[in-house]
Structure 1
Amino acid sequence: MEPLTIRSVRGPEEYPWLAEIWRGAVYATHDFLAEADREEIEARLQSDYFPAVVLSVAEREGRPVGFSGVLDGVLEMLFVDAAQHGGGVGTALLAHAVENHGVTKVDVNEQNVSAAGFYAHRGFEVVNRSATDEAGRPYPLLHLRLTRPCENARPHAV
């Protein structure tokens, strides 16, 4: 498998690629989301959500395969191309976010059991729970905090 590199997003011209990764990842992992809610979130990705965070993109062979978004030490988003799940992309993005952006917190949908397990395996523990997501939708959130060193994949950052 080709090496993974992680770099900063160059600008809004890359947002469509990230939205495509988001869409595939959400269809693969967020079957609990109502279609209307998924569409509402997707409609705001490029205009509201991406510009509000520091975005990093993971690439293999020059092609984006995942991305993360961080704001004030909180991992606000981490999505991996569905075809790349299990290939270390998420672990590398998380390690990059912790090491380079000081991430110590993340919220995860309670219904996304695989994501909750992913973060638990990498040193995050549940410290609180909300009955709804940040927009008041009926998707409970687990609030996690990093309590031990993050498993580290050490990608080459460019």
Structure 2
Amino acid sequence: MEMKISASRIRPATEQDYQALAELWEASVRSTHHFLSEEDILFYKPLVRDVYFPAVELHVVENPAGRPAGFVGVSDELIEMLFVHPDEHGKGYGSALLRFAVEERGLRRVDVNEQNGKALSFYLHRGFEVTGRDETDAQGKPFPILHMKVGEL
């Protein structure tokens, strides 16, 4: 059952969070990105931690035990990444992070792996529409990317 998570539970991430967030990313990807091979996951994991995290403004939402339940990475124009630990799916953390990005940061666009049906459904259910498609991801790998946009949540 999804709970309404307050934006006050979302805090800026620090470099000290990167390892825990990389582990959360990996757990999330393993549960939702079934199209990725083990080799793909091992290729992306250091990029996520060492290149992608420092390149975005990261925010973390913690569960009641104080552990990261999810995170969102934003740029000036785009929700660059949004991941929730699989143990925390369906509890409202993803929705809270998305509301934060849209309402607090004013972002209206996100890119999603076309093969990640859970993420695609998540965004479509919240009013996002597909506005474009790329055949490959940013690394040139054959993982199509859908460009999505929303008006208001």
Query: Same fold judged by TM-score > 0.5?
Result: yes
Superposed CA offset, 1:103-133 (max 9, x none): 1110101111111111011121000011111
Preserved CA contact (<8 Å) 1:73 1:101: no
1:1-158 → structure 2 map (5 Å cutoff): 5-9=9-13, 11-61=14-64, 62-147=66-151, 149-150=152-153
Aligned-CA RMSD value: 1.5
Deviations 1:38-64 (A, max 9, x none): 111101122111000000000122221
Could you give the per-residue CA deviations for residues 5-58 of structure 1, whole angstroms, max 9, x where no partner exists? Answer: 11111x211101101110110000001012222111101122111000000000
**Structure with the larger RCO, 1 or 2 (CA within 8 Å, 6+ apart):** 1
Q: Which runs of 5+ in 1 are unaligned?
A: 151-158
State, as a whole percentage, how many aligned pairs show the same letter.
48
SS state of the match for residue 39, structure 1?
A: helix
Q: TM-score, normalised by structure 2?
A: 0.91
Report how many residues are paired.
148
Letter in 1 for 2:145: L
Distance in structure 2 (CA, Å) of the matches to 1:19 and 1:111: 21
The letter of the residue matching 2:135 is A
Matched residues in 2 for 1:78 and 1:99: separation?
A: 15
Q: Which amino acid aligns with 1:44?
A: L
User: More strand by proportion, 1 or 2?
Assistant: 1
Q: TM-score, normalised by structure 1?
A: 0.89
- Equivalent position of 1:154 in the other structure: none
- Runs of 4+ deviating beyond 3 Å: none
Report SS of the residue matched to 1:135. Answer: coil
